[in-house]
Amino acid sequence: MSLFVTFEGADGIGKSTICSLIYEELKKRSLKVMRTREPGGTKISEAIRDIILDNDNKEMDIRCEALLYAASRAQHVYEKIRPALNDGYIVLCERYVLSSIAYQAYGRDQRQEDIFAINDYATGGLKPDINFIFQNKEDTHRRKSTPLDRLEKAGDAFHEKVREYYRNIEKEDNYYFIDASQSIEKVYEDTLKILESIGGLK
Ligand code: TYD
């Protein structure tokens, strides 16, 4: 049984920690599970990631940025995600299309429809079965990489818009909200419970 699960939320909200705990748990249950992330996940996608996050690329146009994220995603879906799903894997992916809506549409003030359109093209319309959206009413203080990458340097107003998007996102059928202000144990428990009931995991 294949299942496509994504983990979304602002920087530093704890997606990676929970994704890794879930991955270990599903492995323990001897389920076929794969963990991946965006931007990245394949050689070409990682190379695109380097271009996007490179501080030397200060002059990058916001359309170029949006298309590069979509290009990286296209290769990731084609080379890794779809084949794994076809092979019956549970795919756990940190960030996917909603990250582009948060950062490139809301953060960069571009039209949501445009960003959805290029991503629809990039992914061939592949939608997650479960889209976990980690939310925190409080401002999360991100764990920054050293040195800061181009996106991390994009400024407080940009990052505040991104957080606001994730805080106020409207429910869709495959969106599942997780209160990330709780303890890690509780966040993990909530996430696993949804995965078990909606994803049909034992
Ligand atoms: P990364 O180090 O993976 O961030 P994190 O660990 O917080 O997920 O860097 C990816 C950066 O790219 C991050 O700031 C979010 C941003 N991003 C977008 O702007 N659009 C996207 O579509 C994706 C997938 C990420």
Q: What is the DSSP string of 152-164?
A: GGG-HHHHHHHHH
pTM across the whole model: 0.95
pLDDT for 202 equals 67
Which domains does the chain possess?
Answer: 3-199 (3.40.50.300)
Measured in Å, residue 26 CA sits from the centre of ligand 1 at 25
pLDDT for 140 equals 60
Answer whether 4's CB lies under 8 Å from 126's CB. yes
Average pLDDT for 68-73: 98
Residue 161 confidence class, pLDDT cut points 50, 70, 90: very high
The closest-lying atom of ligand 1 relative to the alpha carbon of residue 96 is 24
Measured in Å, residue 130 CA sits from the centre of ligand 1 at 19
Dist CA 197 CA 81 (whole Å): 23
Measured in Å, residue 99 CA sits from the centre of ligand 1 at 7
Higher pLDDT, 199 or 24: 24
Q: Which residues line ligand 1 (CB under 6 A)?
A: 11, 38-39, 69, 95, 99-100, 103-104, 151
Measured in Å, residue 49 CA sits from the centre of ligand 1 at 9
CA angle 126, 48, 56 (to 5 degrees): 145
Residue 38 has pLDDT above 80, yes or no: yes
